[in-house]
Amino acid sequence: SAVISQKPSRDICQRGTSLTIQCQVDSQVTMMFWYRQQPGQSLTLIATANQGSEATYESGFVIDKFPISRPNLTFSTLTVSNMSPEDSSIYLCSVIYAGENIQYFGAGTRLSVL
Amino acid sequence: GEDVEQSLFLSVREGDSSVINCTYTDSSSTYLYWYKQEPGAGLQLLTYIFSNMDMKQDQRLTVLLNKKDKHLSLRIADTQTGDSAIYFCAESMRNFNKFYFGSGTKLNVKP
């Protein structure tokens, strides 16, 4: 199993501000992903975080709104910029370890934007 | 993208078996997964099956895969109230850089 620490676990933010979410893994992983789960819905992949280079974004998500960093093989951040109430969601970090075929998830960050 | 579909709700009585179903469209998927999400938590991997297998059993959980019909099911024997959660099926493609998730099935277990 994996040890994935995601911070903060929840936050309430004001419209127009930004929030940075951190994801720390217990050991090196090959792949890190960021997902959004809107209330009552399934997971939507935002981007794949690439170590040392720009993240790979899915259709509908852009770097200006969701900048992502991955400075090393165990850590990544996702920033939700210029927030609006529509950004209220759970944001989930997930990882895949080398040689494995399983995606492990962090506990998520519950974001409410007022 | 790929379509992974699940029914939205299932209600069972404690002690009964639960069967949660999932259909997918891409026959090139390599692994299929079942995740559990309890209220306020992330996704917990329950079990997974390689696409060339028909069945996998792990304690109270039985996964059945019908590759011809692209149908995956999760059977929970002797369902308990602690099994109440949302269950997601997911499939991965050959190089694991894409996972596709179903909409989730909310399982309600009545005492």
Contact A101 B101 (CB under 8 A): no
A96: helix, strand or coil: strand
A108 min Cα distance to partner chain B (Å):
5
Categorize the per-residue pLDDT at B95 as very low, low, confident or very high, splitting at 50, 70 and 90. Answer: low
For residue A50, the 8-state DSSP code is P
Q: What percent of chain A has pLDDT over 90?
A: 82
- pLDDT by residue (tens digit) across B49-94? 998 889 999 999 999 999 889 999 999 999 999 999 999 999 987 6
State how far residue A6 is from chain B, nearest Cα, in angstroms.
10
Question: With an 8 Å Cβ cutoff, are A101 and B40 in contact?
Answer: no
Tokens for A78, please give them.
């996702």
pLDDT of the residue at B2: 66
pLDDT in tens, B2-35: 689 998 999 999 999 999 999 988 777 788 999 9
Lowest mean pLDDT among A5-9, A51-55, A72-76, B45-49: A51-55
Residue A39's contacts (CB-CB under 8 Å, 6 or more residues apart) are A88, A89
- Please give the interface size between A and B, counted as residue pairs whose CB atoms are below 8 Å apart: 44
State how beta strands B9-13 and B105-110 pair: parallel
